[in-house]
Amino acid sequence: MAALAGMFFGIYPLFLNRSGLTGVWPVALFSALVLTGTLSVALYGDSATLQTIGLFGWAMLLSAGIFGTFGMLAFCKMIAEALPKDIGMLIALMTIVQIAVAAIYQAVMSGGQMSIDKIGGYVAAGVAAYLLLR
């Protein structure tokens, strides 16, 4: 599923860039389309989790929504204003930052204990992303 998500997350910005929309409109319309698609799937799913996540879960969901909003605004502004020839480089740069966030999260969640394999993997991913930017 991670590879599938990566494929779709890699493809949609290319189409969004070619839409010709600028400003906040790409974010608003894209988000509305995503909401429509995901809500139609969620309605057939199990809604029991909405009743059982508790206050902490709702706080985390709200936080995710806030960070996601800022991320989508920044991402869509980047996509809307970028030249098609620069999209790949910009997505690679964004990926470097995502790798850094994931590595920091992994280190914190493991109590600062990370295997040499994981550290090497993050370094290799960072080097690969850097080389893609050159």
Residue span of the structural domain in which 57 resides: 12-81
Diameter over CA atoms, the chain:
49
Spatial separation of the C-alpha atoms in residues 75 and 10, rounded to whole Å: 12
7-55 confidence digits (pLDDT tens): 898 888 888 888 888 878 888 898 999 999 998 888 887 666 777 888 8
Q: Are residues 107 and 120 in the same domain?
A: yes
68-91 confidence digits (pLDDT tens): 999 988 988 888 888 888 888 888
Decide if 1 is inside a domain.
no
Decide if 5 is inside a domain.
no
pLDDT at 62: 92
108-126 confidence digits (pLDDT tens): 888 877 788 878 887 888 7
Q: Are residues 18 and 77 in the same domain?
A: yes
> pTM score > 0.85 for this model?
no
Q: Which helix (H) or strand (E) holds 100?
A: helix 87-109
The answer on pLDDT for 132 being more than 80 is no
Decide if 6 is inside a domain.
no
pLDDT at 66: 94
The answer on pLDDT for 99 being more than 70 is yes
Dihedral sign from CA coordinates of 116, 4, 100, 128: positive
Spatial separation of the C-alpha atoms in residues 124 and 117, rounded to whole Å: 10
User: For the chain, how many structural domains are there in total?
Assistant: 2
